[in-house]
Homo-oligomer: A and B are copies of this chain.
Amino acid sequence: MSVITVGTMAFDAIETPFGKVDKIVGGSATYVAYAASNFITPVQQISIVGYDFPKEEMDELKVRGVEMDGVEIVPDKKSFFWSGKYHIDMNTRDTLVTDLNVLADFNPIVPDSYQGAEFLMLGNLMPKIQMNVIDQLKVRPKLIVLDTMNFWMEIAMDDLKEVLKKIDVLLVNDGEARQLSGEVSLVKAAKAILKMGPQFLIIKKGEHGALLFHGEHVFFAPALPLEDVFDPTGAGDTFAGGFIGYLAKTKDISFENMKTAIIVGSAMASFCVEKFGPERLKELTREDIDARLNEFVQLVNFDIDLV
């Protein structure tokens, strides 16, 4: 059982009300890998980096069971760089800088050694690139999860709709669900999106939790109320990594098990925001994760005898 994860490995500069960092490792595939590798190995990375991406970071990921055969290293270019500043409420941010660098030429090649993977996590990338990866797989994975964003809805909606037909689980936030569907009500938005291809839809609402839709069913996972959200960067990717990692570990892609997988994703995301970048994810022990999952059980469990 293995998980292929496709996405960016990058540098971020982040400013939040709690501090700033000028350069920290980031990227969607980085966060997915750090989260998923707690549950399943190997995680098979597909990404592109420049000469400046730290070898120590690659080594740290490898130690955790993340394979790097699919990570192209471009010797004469810099890694993708993103810089953003969060507002006081931490729910919104301004992008200050986006230097594509190596990402402008990203043409992912699936290594032969990755063929046969049963889980595929397509991070937020140009829909044509996401489709290209699906097309290279000789055996369709058991589960394809796709992340995307409003930007692609604005400039590549047709391509996005094509790739939606090929996937099983779509991950978007509430604004993106509304944009993709043209519906204000999230329930109506979900019904419309589930007709576009995916059997499952996860709508992320940041500090307000996440909703999972499947047919007529809906499940809600809260975000853990935290004293301080230090840095939300990567929380969505960490959520995705925990989600797919748990599904791969348990080899069960039923709606019932996806409920638990979303709680696991939410738990991993709740760690991510506690420090800048992926720092907190690197420290985690199995005991930390179990304790956090237990907090989620306490947070939502109740007893009722129908009245």
Residues of A within 8 A of B (CB): 39, 88-89, 184-188, 205, 208-209, 211, 217-222, 225-229, 246, 249, 256, 259-260, 263-264, 286, 289-290, 293-294, 297-304, 306-307
CA distance A208 to B300 in the complex (A): 14
In the complex, what residues of B have CB within 8 A of residue A220's CB? 209, 222, 225, 299-300
CA distance A224 to B36 in the complex (A): 30
Given known A-B contacts A184-B89, A249-B307, A307-B289, A302 and B226 have beta carbons under 8 A apart: no
CA distance A226 to B218 in the complex (A): 11
Among residues of B, the one whose C-beta sits closest to the C-beta of A294 is: B306
Contact in complex: A227, B185 (CB < 8 Å): yes
CA distance A218 to B295 in the complex (A): 9
In the complex, what residues of B have CB within 8 A of residue A221's CB? 302
In the complex, what residues of B have CB within 8 A of residue A259's CB? 301-303
Contact in complex: B256, A303 (CB < 8 Å): yes
In the complex, what residues of B have CB within 8 A of residue A89's CB? 184
Which 4 residue pairs are nearest across A and B when measured between Cβ atoms?
A: A208-B208, A259-B302, A220-B222, A290-B306
In the complex, what residues of B have CB within 8 A of residue A298's CB? 217, 219
- Least distance between A233 CB and chain B CB atoms (Å): 18
CA distance A88 to B289 in the complex (A): 40
Extra contacts besides A208-B209, A220-B299, A260-B302 (17): CB < 8 Å: A88-B184, A89-B184, A185-B227, A185-B228, A187-B226, A188-B228, A209-B222, A217-B298, A219-B298, A220-B300, A221-B302, A259-B303, A286-B307, A289-B307, A290-B307, A293-B306, A294-B306
In the complex, what residues of B have CB within 8 A of residue A304's CB? 260, 263-264, 293, 297
- Least distance between A229 CB and chain B CB atoms (Å): 8
CA distance A93 to B228 in the complex (A): 29
In the complex, what residues of B have CB within 8 A of residue A290's CB? 306-307
In the complex, what residues of B have CB within 8 A of residue A227's CB? 185, 187-188
Contact in complex: A218, B299 (CB < 8 Å): yes
CB contact between A225 and one of B218, B222, B260, B263 (< 8 Å): that residue: B218
Contact in complex: B228, A307 (CB < 8 Å): no
CA distance A294 to B217 in the complex (A): 13
In the complex, what residues of B have CB within 8 A of residue A205's CB? 208
In the complex, what residues of B have CB within 8 A of residue A218's CB? 225, 299
CA distance A226 to B5 in the complex (A): 34
In the complex, what residues of B have CB within 8 A of residue A184's CB? 88-89
CA distance A226 to B187 in the complex (A): 6
In the complex, what residues of B have CB within 8 A of residue A185's CB? 226-229
Given known A-B contacts A184-B89, A222-B220, A299-B220, A39 and B264 have beta carbons under 8 A apart: no
